[in-house]
């Protein structure tokens, strides 16, 4: 819910990755994620995954040499030979590219599904209820749920625990948390040159 609220107004994408054979889905996901983080719009064009004319449509305000953005929450299940269900905010990623990389990193598995919401998230509560119902609740095959640091922000659990220690009533605490989600920007490490 916190990640959905943090990205409210952005387009949410759904990604399902299946497994052809039982194996380590976590390791395959990590490799896929690292490759996606290194991919740029310019490379997508250069490697033939999309036409040059589509760059402006899919990446209107993004420098073409900047890596793709992918802020995710994923659920791993035992369905079939194993399935990863991920929801993410970020850049457009061509279906063919994801399918190709997934087949390379996960033993020939190529069957994936990707879709997105229309417009931005208007009701985080409704979307989080859908995700819980579909992928977690009453799911005997659920293995684990995980997310990257930018799903919310690095250190958000500690921030939440600090807020709980203030002694606020629960409603005020939730209201303050919503404010933090929309305004808090964690400290970023500076290069030594940044200090003059």
Domain hosting 81: range is: 2-152
Confidence of residue 196 (pLDDT cuts 50, 70, 90): very low
Name residue, tokens 């983080």.
37
CATH code at 139? 3.40.1310
Share of the chain above pLDDT 90, in %: 33
Asked if pLDDT for residue 67 goes beyond 50, the answer is yes
Based on the fold, state whether residues 94 and 172 are members of the same structural domain: no
Based on the fold, state whether residues 126 and 174 are members of the same structural domain: no
Whole-structure pTM value: 0.79
Quick check: 170 and 139 in contact, CB under 8 A?
A: no
- pLDDT, position 119: 66
pLDDT tens for residues 1-11? 788 788 878 88
Based on the fold, state whether residues 141 and 166 are members of the same structural domain: no
- Domains in the chain, number: 2
CA distance 184 to 156: 10
pLDDT tens for residues 147-165? 888 888 888 888 889 988 9
Based on the fold, state whether residues 104 and 133 are members of the same structural domain: yes
Q: Give the sheet arrangement for strand 70-77, strand by strand.
A: 112-116, 12-18, 83-90, 70-77, 142-147
């Amino acid at each position: 819910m916190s990640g959905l609220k943090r990205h409210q107004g952005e387009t949410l994408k759904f990604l399902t990755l299946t497994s052809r054979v039982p194996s380590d889905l976590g390791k395959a996901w990590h490799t896929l994620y690292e490759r996606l983080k290194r991919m740029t719009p310019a490379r997508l064009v250069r490697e033939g995954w999309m036409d040059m004319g589509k760059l402006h449509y899919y990446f209107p305000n993004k420098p073409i040499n900047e890596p793709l953005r992918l802020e995710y929450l994923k659920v791993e299940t035992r369905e079939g030979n194993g399935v990863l269900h991920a929801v993410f905010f970020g850049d457009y990623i061509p279906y063919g590219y994801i399918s190709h990389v997934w087949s390379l990193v996960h033993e020939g598995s190529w069957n994936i599904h990707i879709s997105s919401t229309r417009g931005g998230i208007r009701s985080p509560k409704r979307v989080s209820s859908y995700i819980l119902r579909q992928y977690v609740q009453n799911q005997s095959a659920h293995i684990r749920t995980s997310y990257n640091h930018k799903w919310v922000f690095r250190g958000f659990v500690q921030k939440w625990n600090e807020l709980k220690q203030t002694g606020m009533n629960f409603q005020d605490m939730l209201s303050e948390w919503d404010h933090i989600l929309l305004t808090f920007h964690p400290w970023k490490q500076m290069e030594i040159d940044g200090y003059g």
